[in-house]
């Protein structure tokens, strides 16, 4: 009877020890699950494989790399006897990581800064100074011509001077003669110049007055001088004042010519060599 009591005590003690061990293991299992849930909420990238790695150059896998730290249990590797319990319900999710550009090394940045910056700049073309040519004609009446013997005295009376080039030229005054003529006059028969030796024999259907602006005097003043000279030539030679196309000039066409010269003056005021 005494033996049965002793056996019963040992059985009870053994059963109690088993119960204690089971309770301890259940607590460990609960802590493991809690650790897994925390790792799900806070994913770690420590064990994430590097991009563009070369498998041939990698060392043999280390079992500790796949180990997991579960608090009081220490690090559990895949071959641990608790691995199946510890790694249950683990979900692997793809992680999209933004690849940041690798900043240049300090030596590279210094070398790049030392290189001269070359810019393919094309210098803008400097626009030419605004210029224009103004021309008027004085035409003889139909079936009539101007004689050289008539042209010369009238031209000299209007202060024209016959140049070495064979053109009658009008200067603003004698002192400014070296500055170039305000306008010049040719005739409308080839070659258009006045030859002093054959001037008396000349017969032409008309005269051409022309000038390049800008000239030695103000643009608008030069236009007025040439218009007055053309009108006086037409009156004294009994001709008609016309435009460069030999069309009879009107008040409207004369106003258009004045507007062109005024526009030239405006463009010259705002023009600069660097514009």
Set out the domains of the chain in order of their start, with CATH numbers. 63-94 (no CATH), 132-270 (3.30.1400.10)
Res 21: pLDDT:
74
Res 67: pLDDT:
54
pLDDT tens for 247-271 read 999 999 999 999 999 999 999 888 8
Determine phi and psi for 122, rounding to 5 degrees. Answer: -105, 120
Res 20: pLDDT:
78
Res 26: pLDDT:
77
Res 110: pLDDT:
55
Res 87: pLDDT:
46
Preceding amide of 191 cis, omega within 30: yes
Q: Whole-number mean pLDDT of the chain?
A: 78
Res 19: pLDDT:
83
Record the pTM. 0.54
Successive 10-residue mean pLDDT values, the chain, 275 residues: 69 79 78 75 52 52 52 54 48 55 59 53 75 95 95 96 95 68 96 94 97 94 96 96 94 95 92 66
pLDDT tens for 220-248 read 999 999 999 999 999 999 999 999 999 99
Compute the distance between CA of residue 208 and CA of residue 251 in angstroms, rounded to an integer: 19
Res 33: pLDDT:
76
């Amino acid at each position: 009877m005494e033996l049965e009591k002793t056996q019963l005590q040992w059985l009870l003690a053994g059963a109690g020890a088993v119960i204690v061990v089971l309770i301890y293991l259940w607590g460990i299992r609960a802590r493991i699950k809690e650790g897994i849930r925390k790792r799900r909420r806070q994913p770690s990238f420590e064990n994430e494989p590097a991009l563009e790695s070369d498998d041939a150059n990698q060392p043999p896998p280390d079992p500790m790399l796949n180990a997991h730290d579960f608090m009081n249990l220490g690090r559990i590797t895949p071959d641990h006897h608790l691995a199946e319990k510890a790694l249950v319900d683990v979900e692997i999710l793809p992680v999209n990581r933004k690849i940041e550009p690798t900043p240049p090394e300090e030596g590279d940045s210094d070398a790049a800064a030392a290189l001269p910056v070359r810019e393919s700049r094309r210098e803008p073309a400097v626009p030419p100074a605004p210029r224009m040519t103004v021309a008027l004609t004085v035409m003889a009446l139909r079936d009539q011509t101007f004689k050289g013997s008539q042209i010369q005295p009238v031209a000299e009376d209007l202060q024209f001077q016959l140049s070495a080039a064979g053109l009658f030229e009008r200067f603003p005054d004698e002192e400014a003669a070296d500055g170039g003529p305000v306008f010049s006059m040719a005739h409308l028969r080839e070659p258009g110049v006045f030859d002093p030796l054959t001037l008396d024999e000349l017969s032409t259907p008309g005269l051409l007055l022309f000038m390049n602006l800008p000239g030695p005097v103000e643009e608008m003043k030069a236009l007025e001088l040439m218009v007055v000279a053309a009108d006086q030539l037409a009156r004294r030679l009994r001709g008609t004042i016309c435009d460069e196309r030999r069309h009879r000039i009107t008040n409207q066409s004369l106003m258009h010519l004045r507007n062109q010269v005024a526009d030239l003056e405006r463009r010259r005021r705002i023009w600069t060599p660097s514009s």
